[in-house]
């Protein structure tokens, strides 16, 4: 396995579970606190009928799981583990690359720093990171980062080797070096990005926003992200295992997509948004105020999403504080990563689901929306049986 082939489709199932064997990583400690217990309460879900968004055809839950390159998936309903299943070599203790689910974890760290009064989300980014004064980020605010509404020029076309998202990987050592003139660190590359339109406009999904947000968090929190995330988040959700984060050549984390964890700990993270920021161990990790304003958004958050230049396929949805809202309202939240990584949170049903996958392509709308549809159906069935 090397930088040239680890993201090729035939290697993804292995590489996503062995990142530390060929890339530098740093530990995000779970600390010494109690593990949040997930008591098994199995439910027979395979016969639930699912209406797939793509094509409108019906399929069983089992057909959805089998057709979406699943490495592992689990569902927690009102604190009980109703299903947990792994495929191939993945097990309950395997650490799996989260891709952009990482963004939601970094967003939670920013929320904890805001709760502590260490970050003002309406302040200019350069208040915390003066090194960006000469970049396209000058004049943008932390809020613009959290909601991906800066005016930065950054292509997220994963299939274009010259898109900025791929040049970022090249800069940090996640891909072979094509351009010898490219900076060789995360922060060095971020300083080269330029502005294409005004800050605060339409939502546009750009991984660089989370990387700059991570830089702001480190500056405001006074610690590197692995220590910061451990202290503010990972050691407080009742995680059972340490997480890890891929790093560049000088140890800066790959904030937008480099975190790795076991499957069950994703359920523990998702539970924060069911309980007003309260963990399954009873610890207040995020304030109810932060969670509420995440759920509500601003007056123009959904309008900004509507006018996004990207093909988001979520009518009436929004993107807020590094989380996706696929429907009108705030009942369902998503943490999403390419190649099929997902945390699904259904608040009325009291349900959190997580799925780790190895889709051959970075993006696959049929697989994404069939998975969301499957989790919607599980939530409806379990909410109905509980009632």
217: left (phi over 0), alpha (psi -120 to 50) or beta: alpha
Residue 361 half-sphere exposure toward CB, CA atoms < 13 A: 9
Looking up tokens 């009325």, which residue turns up? 348
80-86/39-40 β-pairing: parallel
User: Where does 60-163 have alpha helices with state H?
Assistant: 61-67, 101-115, 142-146
Residue 337 pLDDT exceeds 80: yes
Structural domains counted in the chain: 1
Active-site residue, selected from the candidate residues 94, 95, 100, 308: 100
CATH number at residue 335: 3.40.710.10
31: left (phi over 0), alpha (psi -120 to 50) or beta: left
Indicate whether 332 belongs to any domain: yes
Question: Which residue range is the domain that position 96 belongs to?
Answer: 9-25+32-121+224-238+247-386
Q: What is the pLDDT of residues 52-73, one digit of tens each?
A: 656 677 888 998 999 999 999 9
Indicate whether 179 belongs to any domain: no
**3-class secondary structure, 13:** helix
Residue 19 pLDDT exceeds 80: yes
User: H/E element holding 217?
Assistant: helix 207-221
* pLDDT more than 70, % of the chain: 98
pLDDT of res. 51: 72
Indicate whether 180 belongs to any domain: no
Residue 6 pLDDT exceeds 50: yes
User: Where does 222-298 have alpha helices with state H?
Assistant: 225-229, 263-270, 288-296
In this prediction the pTM is 0.97
pLDDT of res. 198: 98
pLDDT band at 49 (very low <50, low <70, confident <90, very high): confident
Q: What is the pLDDT of residues 294-332, one digit of tens each?
A: 999 999 999 999 999 998 999 999 999 999 999 999 999
Is there a catalytic annotation at residue 102?
Answer: no
* Residue 269 phi, psi (nearest 5): -65, -45
pLDDT band at 387 (very low <50, low <70, confident <90, very high): very low
Give the bridge partners for 345, in sequence order: 333, 352
pLDDT of res. 53: 59
Indicate whether 194 belongs to any domain: no
Strands (E), the chain: 25-28, 39-40, 49-51, 58-60, 70-77, 80-86, 96-97, 243-246, 259-261, 318-320, 323-325, 332-337, 341-346, 351-357
Both tokens of residue 217?
């968090």
Residue 200 half-sphere exposure toward CB, CA atoms < 13 A: 12
Question: How far is 171 from 103, CA to CA, in rounded Å?
Answer: 19
Indicate whether 36 belongs to any domain: yes
Among 166, 236, 237, 234, residue whose Cα is nearest residue 245: 234
Indicate whether 186 belongs to any domain: no
* Position with higher pLDDT, 47 vs 215: 215
Indicate whether 190 belongs to any domain: no
Indicate whether 230 belongs to any domain: yes
């Amino acid at each position: 396995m090397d930088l040239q082939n680890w993201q090729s489709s035939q290697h993804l199932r292995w590489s996503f579970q062995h990142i530390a064997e060929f890339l530098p990583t740093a530990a995000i400690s779970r600390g010494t606190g109690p593990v949040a217990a997930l008591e098994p309460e199995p439910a027979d879900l395979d016969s639930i009928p699912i209406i797939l968004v793509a094509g409108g055809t019906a399929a069983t839950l089992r057909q959805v799981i089998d057709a979406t390159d699943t490495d592992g998936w689990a569902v927690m309903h009102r604190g009980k583990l109703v299903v947990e299943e792994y495929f191939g070599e993945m097990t309950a203790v395997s650490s799996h690359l989260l891709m952009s689910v990482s963004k939601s974890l970094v967003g939670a760290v920013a929320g904890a720093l805001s709760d502590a009064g260490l970050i003002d989300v309406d302040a200019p980014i350069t208040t915390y990171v003066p090194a960006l004064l000469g970049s396209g980020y000058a004049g943008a605010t932390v809020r613009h980062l959290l909601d991906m509404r800066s005016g930065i020029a950054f292509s997220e076309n994963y299939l274009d080797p010259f898109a900025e998202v791929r040049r970022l990987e090249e800069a940090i050592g996640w891909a072979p070096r094509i351009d010898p003139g490219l900076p060789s660190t995360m922060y060095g590359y971020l300083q080269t990005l330029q502005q294409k339109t005004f800050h605060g406009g339409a939502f546009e999904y750009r991984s660089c926003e989370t990387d700059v947000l991570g830089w702001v968090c480190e500056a405001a929190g006074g610690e590197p992200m692995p220590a910061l995330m451990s202290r503010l988040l990972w050691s407080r959700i009742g995680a059972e295992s340490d997480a890890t984060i891929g790093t560049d050549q000088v140890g800066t984390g790959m904030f937008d997509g480099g975190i790795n964890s076991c499957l069950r700990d994703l359920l523990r993270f998702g539970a924060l948004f069911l309980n007003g920021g309260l963990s399954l161990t009873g610890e207040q990790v995020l304030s109810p105020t932060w969670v509420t304003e995440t759920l509500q958004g601003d007056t123009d958050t959904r309008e900004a999403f509507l006018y996004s230049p990207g093909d988001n396929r979520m009518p009436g949805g929004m993107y807020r504080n590094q989380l996706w809202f696929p429907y009108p309202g705030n009942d369902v939240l998503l943490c999403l990563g390419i190649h099929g990584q997902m945390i699904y949170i259904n608040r009325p049903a009291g349900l959190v689901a997580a799925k780790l996958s190895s889709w051959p392509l970075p993006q696959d709308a049929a697989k994404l929306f069939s998975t969301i549809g499957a989790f919607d159906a599980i939530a409806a069935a379990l909410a109905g049986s509980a009632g």
